[in-house]
Structure 1
Amino acid sequence: MFGYVVINRKELTKPELERYKAYYCGLCTGLEKSYGKKGISLLSYDMTFLYLLLSDLYNTKDITAEKRCAVHPLGKHKYTTNELTSYVSDMQILLSYFSLKDDLLDNDKAKDEQKLLKLESYISQLKEKYQRQYNCLSENLQKIVALEKIDEDNIVTLSTLSGEMIKEIFAPKEDIFYKQLTSIGKSLGSFIYIMDAFDDLKKDIKNGSFNPLKKLSKKENFNETVKDLLELPLSQAASSLERLPLDDNLSILRNIIYSGVWSRFEVLTR
């Protein structure tokens, strides 16, 4: 489910790329601090986007330092942390937990089950601390699973529920930014569901697994239809992004929303 909300590296300036890397490594540092190696293994580009977004929006007091790590053992690299690092790290764990639950229902992989078991010790505490986010994830995943079990192939219905599932993690609190933040989360959640279905289509057809795009894929101009489906939530995400008072990370966030998110689609449709 992760890995679609990425940068277009070629379109970033060198300082922008270095800034992005510092936030990515900062989130990695936060995950390691709170969850050890298990946390590091769940680091995603999607949550790096959220980290960049919230850090800019709430004008956090960023601390940028240098260190070596297992991934970069030969030289020091910059990493950026702030008061929101722990929140985004916690959301990464919650989202990963529910994503793994969904994957297990689809694939029944022993490897995913082991990962899920390793995360379960954290979930009761996170559920108590973030009831709004937890309930939203849990309730909407149940709705998605129920529809998938009856082979519901309305991709708009399913992707909308995926957006509803994710939207609350984009808002650490219910303040003046809540409406726009949850709108971005909902839109990206919808986009990710459609993109994931498109990415998995050939594999799912081969394996006989559920995929809501199977019937649609038999029609003419399928790729163009999927592109149209993807453009709607992305335009909504962009509209909400532009309504927020952002500055420091805005050029990177725009790079992701307007360009980077299309990277995988472009690879699949070449």
Structure 2
Amino acid sequence: MFGYVTICEPELKVKDLRKYKAYYCGLCQELKEAYGAVGQMTLTYDMTFVIVLLTSLYESQTELTEHRCKVHPVKKQKMLRNEITQYGADMNILLTYYKLADDWIDEKSIRSLLGNGFLRKRAREVIRRYPRQSKAIRRSLRELSKCEQQNSMDLDKTAGCFGELMAELFVYKRDMWEERLRKIGFYLGKFIYLMDAYEDLEEDLQKDCYNPLRKLSQREDYEEEIKRILCMMIAECCAEFEKLPCLLDVDILRNILYDGVWNHYKNIQKKLMDGKEKKDV
């Protein structure tokens, strides 16, 4: 369900692209040092966005380092890290831990059970440090699981579960920015959930798996309606973002929110157009 909150690389200046990659590599290095190779496997673009946003808002002092890695063994990679990078790494671990536990309960996936076991000790330490976020993730995934079991087609309810989860992760600390950050996370979370459902719809229909868009997809105006809903979610998110006093890396943040989040949608539309053209031939 993650991987939707990315940059639109062609629209980003070279210096901003390098800096974004440094944040991403910084998160990867933090995961490696704190949680080993298993931790690195939880790396997401979505949490990189959270780190850039919170770093910009709180103007956190960031350290630039260089390291080699398995992906880039020859040339050292620039990495940007601060206390929020550690927070992002911890949230990555929490999300993965609870998602694996949820998958084991719902699907009896042995892979999920083993992965959950590998992370259990480290995850418990994070749970003790962040009880608020931990409870929110656990509660939201439980409610989402109920929606899936009930085959709910209520988009506001199902997407809202994931929205509540993301809302809590965006609140790094309880202060004057809490309400605004919570709204950004909530609407972005709903957008992510619906985009994931939109991307998986065809496969889910073929396999007769749950998808909250199944009912909506039967309408003649489905494509127009899902685009309208997605636009509404990201518009609410962007409106709240613009109220924050973010100056540092604001071009990166706007690139992601106004362009990058639509990367998958554009790819889906291209596939649909290609498929239609083949049928017409």
Where do residues 1-270 of structure 1 align in structure 2 (5 Å cutoff)? 1-105=1-105, 107-270=107-270
User: For 2:93 and 2:181, how far apart are their aligned partners in 1?
Assistant: 19
Letter paired with 1:223:
E
- Contact 1:223–1:269 (Cα < 8 Å) also in 2: no
Indicate how the Cα distance of structure 1 residues 38 and 16 shifts in structure 2: closer, same or farther if over 3 A, else same: same
The offset of 1:105, in angstroms, is 5.0
- Percent identity over the alignment? 38
The offset of 1:251, in angstroms, is 0.6
The offset of 1:109, in angstroms, is 3.3
The alignment's TM-score, normalised by the length of structure 2, stands at: 0.92
The offset of 1:107, in angstroms, is 4.5
User: For 2:41 and 2:160, how far apart are their aligned partners in 1?
Assistant: 28
Q: SS state of the match for residue 72, structure 1?
A: coil
Deviation string, structure 1 residues 228-268 (Cα, Å, up to 9, x no partner): 11112211110111111111211101000011001101111
The alignment's TM-score, normalised by the length of structure 1, stands at: 0.96
Correspondence for 2:273: none
Q: SS state of the match for residue 64, structure 1?
A: strand
The offset of 1:195, in angstroms, is 0.7
Q: SS state of the match for residue 66, structure 1?
A: strand
The offset of 1:209, in angstroms, is 0.8
The offset of 1:146, in angstroms, is 1.1
Q: SS state of the match for residue 83, structure 2?
A: coil
Number of equivalences = 270
The offset of 1:217, in angstroms, is 0.9
The offset of 1:169, in angstroms, is 0.9
Instruction: Note the residue ranges of structure 2 that are not aligned, 5 or more in a row.
Output: 271-281
Deviation string, structure 1 residues 81-118 (Cα, Å, up to 9, x no partner): 11212111101111122233344455443323322221
Letter paired with 1:51:
I
Report the structure number with the largest CA radius of gyration. Answer: 2
Deviation string, structure 1 residues 27-48 (Cα, Å, up to 9, x no partner): 1111111101011111000000
